[in-house]
Structure 1
Amino acid sequence: MRTGYSVETVRAAERALMDELPEGALMQRAAAGLAAACADLLGKVYGARVALLVGSGDNGGDALYAGARLARRGAGVTAVLLAPERAHGGGLAALRAAGGRAVPAGAGEPVLRRADLVVDGIVGIGGRGGLRPEAEALVEAAEGALVVAVDLPSGVDADTGEVRGAAVRADATVTFGAYKPGLFIDPAREHAGALRLVDIGLGPFLDGPPAVEALHHSDVAEMLPFPEPESDKYRRGVVGIVAGSARYPGAAVLAVAGALQGGAGAVRYAGPAADAVIARFPETLVTAGPPSKAGRVQAWVVGPGLGDEAEARRALEDVLAQDVPVLVDADGLRLLDTAAVRARTAATVLTPHAGEAAALLGLSREEVEAGRLSAVRALADRFGVTALLKGSTTLIADGKDTPVRVNPTGTPWLATAGSGDVLSGLTGSLLAAGLPGREAASVGAYLHGLAARTLGAAPITSMDVAAGLRGVWRDVARG
């Protein structure tokens, strides 16, 4: 899996490594990797016009030394210095010795407009807040060139993924030693472009767990539940679905569709949309009574399309009172009682989108979308649950000392009615099959996103996603 470490952890690792290396060796390693990535993007280095946007810190030094390497290969390299008196002295001398030149920021716009490639070395991983006006104007002048960010795009927060003002939008980001959390999380992720990690030797010095992690196929394959030779449908797990209403019967159908693809041996449905469910999925076990009278289940999914009537509230209370894992989504989230959730001993998974998370946390939707990492952590802590925050980057947190998981498979095409109902059913089925809350949420999000991606860059329906789950399950299992 890919892991992202906090700025504090990375800085401590850099200091420890520099104590064991000759002075300047670490920056030279970073510059070599940066120059190689720039050369790959250019294709032909000789004769290319390269502009370096250089701030006052080591980030600017990395850019200057990389520019010197490109200049020695025949590129025309010009450094635009935002703070000439504080530019990295060694890097600037190396650039000039290699045939490059430097100009002050006031003379930088013509250079940037002519550039084939621009290297963003304005602010490093310790930067906070958006770009200053002078830097913003220079970045705007670089429109049309390939932009490569050094470590992370200037103007984004390395630890949180927040963007509090103007920020560089890079075509690629070359990051050193370890990924930073913000590179995985929107809105910063949208600014990072393609990611390239340069190994500078930090690995042995990264002390403690990562802040975030993103699963690969092989990680998910190890978590998938498979039946044993002696399994029957009950041993494989039974997932109960409490969803749908007279107004929203389709939510029940979609949640059941997702659940049937999630590895459990059987799906029970308790609710008013039994006729619609049976018409589409005759293998479903249905009951007209309350959830607690439906029969044995290993996990419940409650909330999609449930409405907010008294009957919906009673159904939610009934489910939460049972000592099995429960996933709460959609309307169920609006009816939640915090104390009742925190009192549960079995696993609870909440799966809000940004608007629902905002209501649960007493924030605005804009605040949640701007600070997704802090929001998902707050949800997990406040309710004592596994929280899956849906959106442009889906995040999973469990309120423990574990990294927040970032789902790498999402696609904007999932922004379609009912897709969350399918995800809820799928994840609930994984809970019933025996996966812990964090793993069920992670695997569910991964497969759900992958199923949508395989349908291509075209409009999709939620039932298309459900139908695609079988194929992606098989592909992931094969590795």
Structure 2
Amino acid sequence: MTCTCSRLPKEIPLRQAHTVAQVRAAEAALMAALPDGTLMQRAAAGLAATCAGLLPRVYGSRVLVLAGSGDNGGDALFAAARLARRGARAEALLLDPAKAHAEGLAALLAAGGRVTGDAGAFGRADLVLDGIVGIGGSGPLRPAAAPFATMARRGPVVAVDVPSGVDPDTGEVSGPALRADVTVCFGTHKPGLLIDPGAEYAGVVHLVGIGLDLPPAPVAALQHADVAALLPVPGAESDKYRRGVVGVAAGSARYPGAALLAVAGALRGGAGAVRYTGHAAEEVVRRHPEALVTEAGPARAGRVQAWVVGPGGGDGAEQALREALDTDAPVLADADALTELGRLGPALLAGRTAPTLLTPHAGEAARLLAGIGEHTDADTVAAHRLRSARLLAARYGATVLLKGSTTVVADPDGRARTNPTGTGWLGTAGSGDVLAGLAGSLLATGLGPLDAASVAAYLHGLAGRHAAGTGAPITALDIAEALPSVWRSLTG
């Protein structure tokens, strides 16, 4: 059966994020073709322009550069020199004077700036430039810089390329780190700016183009236009079967609500029909008369284009998961199905030719990791989101949607996407059941697991924001009911 839906163009305007190694290689190639210093001046010009826009006025404003060694400090010093030429009172606090960027420091002094040894200038500045550690750094702030992580500030802190103390490739924060109000990144986003906890330190991220020629990005984030291009659109000849049928094996006598919520998400995910199987059939059809219901289990429920298995599945989750995996349809495993998969290990997925999508939260991810001999806990998973999602995807041979404050979607080939939408109000019981149904429905329309998971997370996050409005508690059913509105907002 072929779904008559639109498909994503080959080239889409993803927000792309490249690794340090990729950026360094692209910078080296560009610098070889440009006069010395050109690339740094491009970066400094963009950085200075952003800083000028943050100040009520440049003339007379106090600007402090926290300058480390190397090019990151040089970018900040050259930017401060540009601001000094416009009348700013620019100072540089050199954290390692012997290794300060000589040309950048000379430019600052020539423009009327000065060097200070007074750490108190941090609290008096109208704007602070964090040029301590660039993309080449790793680990927490060094002792000389660590006090600035907790010091009171007067004006905004602008990070140069990445907040110091944040790992640019992963977003991991292993100790003290400087929290920025704005991060100006050069050439491309860095993965650590899109993934918590690093994203929490980045503030507003502003991209400055410097002419880099970069390879495909290993990490990306969909934007409105990308999601709109992926949403399934029925054709003139579509009927409920051509649009795709999603099967939902969820709920139990103890957790019938999980079935209702998973079906609610599935009904709003673009598939033409939802086929439910499980112990909550009566409750499902009472709440959702559109659903086709049976208690037969996935093996005898009828033909579907994708299965959602596990929400509130209880003791029947293992059998439902095995039956769904025995079909040739894509399978999304969530909740209790993930617990069973962690117990049984990745061998259960061996030999599957159809896609598998796993949608764990941090605790479930820890159980899946235990299934491959990696014993950890939910807090550690949350602190290493990208690493954990990629490891699970590679070892289980499945696409992984790791839920959390930053949702990360990882493919077995190492590609990853982060989700830019959401709200803390999404942390409510049943929210994940709605997400599972939504993602499974998108799978049934014909989207691949990476796209289905990314689009579902995006829509789910927008629906949470829409339901919460200016800030109010919401329920999982509120999220499901907001999905048509946010879908229309994207396509309109």
Q: TM-score, normalised by structure 1?
A: 0.96
Shift of 1:194: 0.2
1:266-299 C-alpha deviation (Å, 9 max, x unpaired):
1111101112111211111110222221112111
- Once the two structures are superposed, residues 203-259 of structure 1 have per-residue CA deviations (whole angstroms, 9 ceiling, x without a partner) of xx21x3212011111111111112121111111111111111111110000000000
Q: Secondary structure at the residue paired with 1:141?
A: coil
Cα offset for 1:170?
Answer: 0.1
| Contact in 1 for aligned 2:187/2:210 (Cα 8 Å) | yes
Letter in 1 for 2:321: L
Residue 268 in structure 1 maps to residue 275 in structure 2: yes
**1:353 lines up with 2:367 in the alignment:** no
Moved over 6 A (4+): none
Partner-residue secondary structure (3-state), 1:201: coil
Alignment partner, residue 172 of structure 1: 182
Match of 1:323 in 2: 328
TM-score by length of 2: 0.94
**1:290-315 residue CA offsets vs partner (Å, 9 max, x unmatched):** 222111211110000111x2x33212
| SS of equivalent to 1:196 | strand
Shift of 1:342: 2.5
- 2:491 equivalent in structure 1: 477
**3-state DSSP of counterpart to 2:265:** helix
What are the residue-to-residue correspondences of 1:299-448 with 2, within 5 Å?
299-307=306-314, 309=315, 311-336=316-341, 337=344, 338-362=346-370, 363-400=376-413, 403-448=415-460
Unaligned 5+ residue runs, structure 1? none
Look up the match of 2:373: none
Which range is displaced more, 119-128 or 42-51? 42-51
Does residue 182 (structure 1) correspond to residue 192 (structure 2)? The answer is yes
Equivalent position SS for 1:108: coil
1:132 is aligned to 142
Task: Give a deviation string over 1:310-348, Cα, whole Å, max 9, x none.
Answer: x33212211111110110000110111321213211111
Conservation of the 8 A alpha-carbon contact between 1:70 and 1:77: yes
- 1:409 maps to amino acid: T
Q: Contact 1:394–1:410 (CA<8 Å) still a contact in 2? A: no
Query: What is the DSSP-based 3-state SS (H/G/I as helix, E as strand, rest coil) of the residue aligned with 1:454?
Result: helix
SS of equivalent to 1:227: coil
> Within the alignment, does 1:121 sit opposite 2:131 as a pair?
yes
- 2:41 equivalent to 1:20: no
- Aligned 8 A contact 2:148 2:178 in 1: no
State whether structure 2 residue 289 is matched by structure 1 residue 282.
Answer: yes
CA distance in structure 1 between the aligned counterparts of 2:320 and 2:99, rounded to whole angstroms: 65
Using a 3 Å threshold, how does the CA distance of structure 1 residues 138 and 218 change in structure 2: closer, same or farther? closer
Aligned residue identity for 1:317: R
Q: Percent identity?
A: 63
Deviation at 1:142, TM superposition (A): 4.8
**What does residue 10 of structure 2 align with?**
none
The question of whether the paired residues in 2 share the 8 Å contact of 1:115 and 1:142 is answered with: no
2:303 is aligned to: 296
Query: 1:442, 1:427 → 2: CA distance?
Result: 9
User: Could you tell me whether the CA contact under 8 Å between 1:177 and 1:200 is conserved in 2?
Assistant: yes
- The alpha-carbon deviation at position 133 of structure 1 amounts to 2.0
1:253 matched to 2:260? The reply is yes
Aligned counterpart, 1:449: 461
Verify the 8 A CA contact 1:109 1:141 in the aligned structure 2: no
Corresponding letter in the other structure for 1:58: D
**1:89 maps to 2:95:** no
CA contact (8 A) 1:152 1:175 kept: yes
Letter of the 1:415 partner, please give it: G
